[in-house]
Structure 1
């Protein structure tokens, strides 16, 4: 990736609507640190902040700009739990461990909100998230999920009938909602830049435009860039979908998937609040889902249309406009001012993949589109492990993770074929 390609952010409403940090200097020559972190996104910066505040010397190496990957481009929906869902997690590790990991995710949302308050990060936090079924079979599934979460997890979600939902959401597309008052949404790029400002204030050294080209493992790992290297006592790999060629045993267990978001023109306060009266975030329950929320300046931010080939879909703007109008026909006259995308990392079972390689090289990946809160949780748990308390990080090692079939050459075509089946299932029943 050339310097010119990484010195600015991809065009998006996020980049246009928040103050950016000055470019941090690229790594030149050799340096030493207690901890060196690959990736200046939520995971890497959360770990960096925890460690710096505990007195560690921390260096972060970022290939492009702070939050340039999924941390600065995602849908901004902050949700407790994991993408695989509680039932799947129970089948993988049993109820007791699944409950433990879910409780950790609740803490992750709490910690995120604490960081926002403590570091005065202006990222437009709003309370509330609704998961909205479209098909009758999904209604039964999500009503059962609401009971399960309330009775077995003591998590206070609410089942809303179609009429209750219609009182807050001006769309006839959905048959009800699983409403979570403790989850919410925020401005993703503003949040990651706020984390970076807190890191810099705590003494973290961040080098942008400093892509790691290889990592020498051992008693003192060394992260190499084209122009320098950092020797450390512990390393953290937080590149997620953009971690290429550094650790093949990790790369084979995730798949990069493209996801896309559009921002409408400014609707005005009255028209925007008429769409979503309580300003919650919304996501439907299809496999190929739509998700949306309002922005601080009264736009609709509408996401969806994932690409499992990582290539932008043809006629993307027209497709996104059509999907938005299917949810909100009353926006037939509204144009889209911004349209952008990026890569997220999915694991084969959609469960998080956290752990370590050897004794002192840590990683977190596999957030599978459900990572705004879980990434910060992962960063904290890795920091705890480096400080000698690894119990919470090690709890995730009980989740088994298989490689995607087909190797580097065939895994993307195989995933595209599999996703076509799930989309067909969404459409037919």
Structure 2
């Protein structure tokens, strides 16, 4: 079974609050027949759209192929959080890659946040960047760690936007009994994720990129002149960029063995009105410290958008049941509130939770596996891929040098082994370990 078609209607966005409030735009035509491009990009999420835009601005002739609609995958379904840093914290990165590389990775992540804000402003996109992400801790040990990490960022990275919060400080923002403290990062923020993807697509098209929706790539013939084949057309090109994330399928085994698709879920409540103050007292986003993270924010029309729960097969479970349980553990007072939207999506993780950048052939590049930290980093990845195609590969090589272990079992057996591991961590979450 192909994840591209397992849970969704072909060529349609899921029935999410994001799709319901998406900025209007015309559907891009599918690919028909043969064409030629300098660069062919497979995947119309943040990575592919950002790469396309940045390549077009450098003068490249670019064709982008998306099996469904732009922003169809994780880019149009996620929690919208534009986080600081990488998925791993800086102390872990220092241990993994050394102080110099950790500093370079931090600088990249800061540029990534700025890039999101700059693109929104430069192209007049139909969304707003709202500052602030709260990290909610369940134990005092986690609170102590959050404080130490904030001190490290201020001392070693000159980043003083993170404010530690004790129990009372947290509850002034987040009135829930489920947490004992945490921090708030005023330099991070949140956006409407699908409208950001649509904004990138409009900007890329205006720059000359030929975007084709409904163009399902099923084969890539590698060589000095690569050929990217869909059911109804083909693109001959000098360079290929794989920007498929969790929807790669069998297009490349090297990437597939290191990048694992998993499913995550979000619900939207009815507008809360004055009761929104029972959820959040500032317009910030939240992520907690569970291994299977709960994350949430208020929408522009006052709904609670709450994400939680994961699955590791092809088919989605009962989403309302899956997400309502952790939502009520955080906010038991919302038991009477109606759920109006529920949707799932497929993202991709790596073993070390860092993005996987790879040159899978001399003229075929790939970036994916953002592990839930992709709004800013996937957008930045697109810019880095464009640089590499243009011959400036320093930042691509920085990312590609990071350790990238295969999942046990490779592409074939990774799912059952992952289910066993995730079941263990889910049990630890339930026990509060």
TM-score, with length taken from structure 2:
0.95
Cα distance in 2 for residues equivalent to 1:322 and 1:400? 36
Distance in 1, Cα, partners of 2:322 & 2:75: 24
Counterpart position of 1:384:
387
Distance 1:167 1:73, change over 3 A: same
CA distance in 2, matches of 1:83, 1:403: 18
Q: State the 1:29 CA deviation.
A: 0.9
- How far has the Cα of 1:224 moved from its partner? 0.8
Are 1:264 and 1:334, in contact at CA under 8 Å, matched by a contact in 2? yes
Moved more, 405-414 or 329-338: 405-414
The question of whether the paired residues in 2 share the 8 Å contact of 1:40 and 1:60 is answered with yes
Alignment partner for residue 239 of structure 1, among 232, 238, 244?
A: 244
Deviates more, 1:82-91 or 1:95-104: 82-91
| Aligned twin of 2:265 | 260
Please tell me whether residue 25 in structure 1 is matched to residue 29 in structure 2.
yes
Q: Does 1:118 align with 2:129?
A: no
Q: 1:332 deviation in Å? A: 2.1
Change beyond 3 A, Cα 1:273–1:204: farther
Q: Deviations over 1:90-138 (max 9, x none)?
A: 2221121011111101100001000000111112321000111112222
1:59 to 63, 67, 76: 63
Structure 2 partner of 1:133? 137
Tell me by how many angstroms 1:143 deviates. 2.0
- Aligned residue number for residue 375 of structure 2: 372
**1:144 counterpart residue number:** 148
Q: CA shift at 1:149, angstroms? A: 1.7
Contact 2:31 2:232 in 1 (8 A): yes
Aligned to 1:75: 79
CA contact (8 A) 1:124 1:296 kept: no
Residue segments in structure 1 that go unaligned for 5+ positions in a row = none
Q: 1:248 matched to which residue of 2? A: 253
Q: CA RMSD in A?
A: 1.5
Measure the CA separation in 2 of the matches of 1:23 and 1:219.
Answer: 32
Aligned residue for 2:359?
Answer: 356
Matched, 1:190 2:190: no
> Which of structure 1's runs of 4+ aligned residues deviate more than 6 A?
none
Q: CA deviation at 1:289?
A: 1.4
1:310 Cα deviation (Å)? 4.5
Aligned residues: 426
Is 405-414 or 63-72 further displaced after alignment? 405-414
The alpha carbon displacement at 1:409 in A equals: 3.5
Tell me if structure 1 keeps the 8 A contact 2:23–2:126.
no
8 Å contact from structure 2 (residues 253, 411) kept in 1: no
> What's the CA shift string for 1:28-51, capped at 9, x where partnerless?
111111111000110000011111
Deviation, structure 1 residue 22: 2.2
Identify the match of residue 324 of structure 1 among 319, 324, 327: 327
User: In 1, Cα distance between the equivalents of 2:365 and 2:300?
Assistant: 36
Q: Which moved more, 1:209-218 or 1:83-92?
A: 83-92
Deviations 1:261-280 (A, max 9, x none): 00000112x32245212211
What TM-score comes out, normalization by structure 1 length?
A: 0.96
CA contact (8 A) 2:170 2:183 kept: no
* Native 8 Å contact 1:310 1:343 kept in 2: no
Q: Which runs of 5+ in 2 are unaligned?
A: none
Number of the residue aligned with 1:161: 166
